[in-house]
Amino acid sequence: MVKTVLCDMLGIDYPIIQAGMGPFSTVKLAAAVSNAGGLGTISIPYSTGPEEGAKIVKEHLHMVKKLTNKNFAVNTPIGSEKTSSKIVFETFEAIIDAVVEEKQSDPELKKRLVLYITSGGNPQKHVKKIKDAGFLHFHVVGSVYHAKKMEALGVDGVIASGYEMGGHTHLPDRAVHTFILVPAVAKAVKLPVVASGGICDGATFAAALALGAVGVQMGTRFIAAKECDFHENYKKFVVEAGEWSDIVVPSFIGPARCLDGDTEKGLIAAGQVSSRINEILSVKEIIENTVKEAEEIIQKLNKIFLKV
């Protein structure tokens, strides 16, 4: 079994975190990932503003709490007063406050809602209240500079997410890919580093560990899961995507990587790794296959070197 310090930190069997993929619901997916031994993550909900956003995220917390008796996480982008619209920025703040309030007031959430993942902005003003509420706090970073900045702020870990990632990604002129980013961040900070961006199977999982990560975060791979809350057409797009199916477009927080296709005038956010995902499996199958393949690869590595 592949176990790392991340398993002990988060109280999970496997060092695999499901990425938050708001503004879509991941209630069923989060529960399934946690039940399968990973750490499921609740995404920010789609909402019309701060009041509705806070209300919906509270409902989602309690829904996941009923669907699993395992630990789970929540993810909220931070946004920016400079680049995000006023209502988007205020909604994110209201959601963070609502999550903190629920964790502090509910005994089960106090025990099992273990990790707060922030992303897409500077979490400085929220670090203290997140930590005071009893959360471990990880922040998603796309550079060594930001990893060091987060370490100085006092977060508990960083998720080094390469340009391959789906959804909100790097500015094209500041893109750093996973294979470059993860070892650089692991060397630069003393925090636990989780690798993200392009992770979908045992080979990429094992590679992430070799690069210095203590675990991985997967998003797009879990979209193509039977339990995923996303529409079946969305899942179909992921498994049918090719190597050049994705494009990076501007969005209300920052650049976003999507699959290039017009489904009811929609936007299909997903990572470059879509081209390597060929079937829709159960969450249990995805996690068990990933771990088993990683174990086999790690064992085989010693056999491929010539003895001198």
Domain that residue 278 falls in = 5-304
Unique residue bearing structure tokens 């005071």: 132
pLDDT digits (tens, 9 = 90+) for 50-65: 888 899 999 999 999 9
For residues 206-225, give the mean pLDDT: 93
Query: What's residue 223's pLDDT?
Result: 86
**What's the confidence (pLDDT) of residue 246?**
54
Q: Which amino acid is at 25?
A: S
Residue with tokens 């190597």: 243
Complete edge-to-edge strand list for the sheet that includes strand 215-218: 16-18, 215-218, 193-196, 157-161, 136-141, 113-119, 72-77, 40-42
Q: Minimal CA–CA distance to 166: which of 2, 24, 4?
A: 24
One-letter amino acid of 106: D
How confident is the model at residue 221, as a pLDDT?
86
Q: Which residues contact 172 (CB under 8 A, 6 or more apart)?
A: 248, 255
Q: What pTM does this model have? A: 0.87
For position 244, which CATH number holds? 3.20.20.70
Tokens matching residue 245: 């199916």
pLDDT of residue 165: 62
Counting the structural domains of the chain, the total is 1
Residue 263 neighbours by CB under 8 Å, 6+ apart: 233, 234, 237
**pLDDT value, residue 191:** 98
The CA-based diameter of the chain, rounded to the nearest angstrom, is 67
What is the per-residue pLDDT across 122-133, written as a single tens digit (0 to 9) for each? 999 999 999 999
Residue 239 has pLDDT above 90, yes or no: no
pLDDT bracket for residue 257 (50, 70, 90) = very low
Q: State both tokens at 6.
A: 């991340």
